Structure 1
Amino acid sequence: MFSEPVSIAVPGNVELAGDLDVPASPRGIVLFVHGSGSSRHSPRNRAVARQLRQDGWGTLLIDLLDQDEEQADAATGRHRFDIPLLAERTVTAIDWLGTHPATSTLGVHLFGASTGAAAALTAAATRPHRVVSVVSRGGRPDLADHALPHVQAPVLLLVGGRDTQVLGLNREAAGLLHADHRVQTVPGATHLFEEPGALDHVADAAQEWFLHTTQTRNNPGRAT
């Protein structure tokens, strides 16, 4: 396992902190795009990332805001719905993965949560040849409405079965996607997936999606 803390420079003279972990012979790299007041320390994202690494995937968890921006956002909420800013920084992280020796040859998958799902989808539309697939957990893909028709990567929208409002928003957003996609509910789960077994369900579904889309991209003639 290769593990290191990283710092990614983004426009505006800002440095974003991250944690990069790459197992031996990785299947690909999963970039986590957090949302709404969260960070790379999100216990839910870290739980999913840990399970993905056990299944052979590399992971990069990054902060999309620096410390000053996080403090401003905590007080005013000014950045958490700034999808263009979050998407721009996600694109920078995708490009950075293409330059790092441990990840430069790996396919990039995006895992977005809450408003981070909109940033992930917008970034996928911006980097169609780099992003293999996208998974959203309890996301707000509707906030990426203008980018959705331009996404080429397959998209899995995971929503808690009891999170009815967000489920409706996901179904509406799915109607704007031209890429392969699926809306999948996690039975009994609410918005934060705090119920026993809910995050395990998310991690299993994400792993299956990442593996299937990787195989399909590598062997397009054998897609089913």
Structure 2
Amino acid sequence: MVVSFDLFGTLVATDRPDQPAEAVADSLAERGVSVPDDWEAAYRSAHREYDRGREAPLDEHVRLALASRGVEVTAATAREAVLVAFDGPVSRREGAREALAAAADNGPVAICSNCSVPGLVERTLERTDLDRGPDAVVTSVDSGWRKPHPRIFETTADALEASLSELVHVGDDARTDGGAERAGARSVLLADTPLSAVARGLREGRL
């Protein structure tokens, strides 16, 4: 058995911007970008079509939204602005360390996270004292697929050099994390098994 964990809402709690368009606009302005007057409308509009299950990278969306208003920025500027806008306070959830340690006793451990902001998962892991890091990090923005699509769980199993049938995925969202079950892995949802009980369940072989 190998184990993957969702990150946000499962292992860590974070403060997200109440007004994401405004947070991104402020971050862009700090980098000398002339933000259009109708930025809110541009940010909320679709500027590219994605196949079902595909991730839409937020930095790409921001570049396209600005370009739709005649403002050009580099990929690096958009990426940095988006990362800073969403890199808010983060705290470790109770039971996270114990769950990771118990999972590591069974084999390699991965983070499998839906996140459209490049680098945010890695930055969050650096800033959170989880005692040990994962053996692999799989994000939707890097893999190109969002949970519950089977492809992101397949990528996670591959990263752990395991089959889907060997993978147990722990998460807090029945719609997204529950997709592991439909992909051929097993899912453990915090609504049924609180994080504080995950470590005990792993050590006793009940998960």
Same fold (TM over 0.5): no
User: Which has the bigger relative contact order, CA under 8 A and spacing at least 6?
Assistant: 2
Q: TM-score, normalised by structure 1?
A: 0.36
- Report which of the two has the higher share of strand: 1
Structure number with bigger Rg:
2
Q: TM-score, normalised by structure 2?
A: 0.39
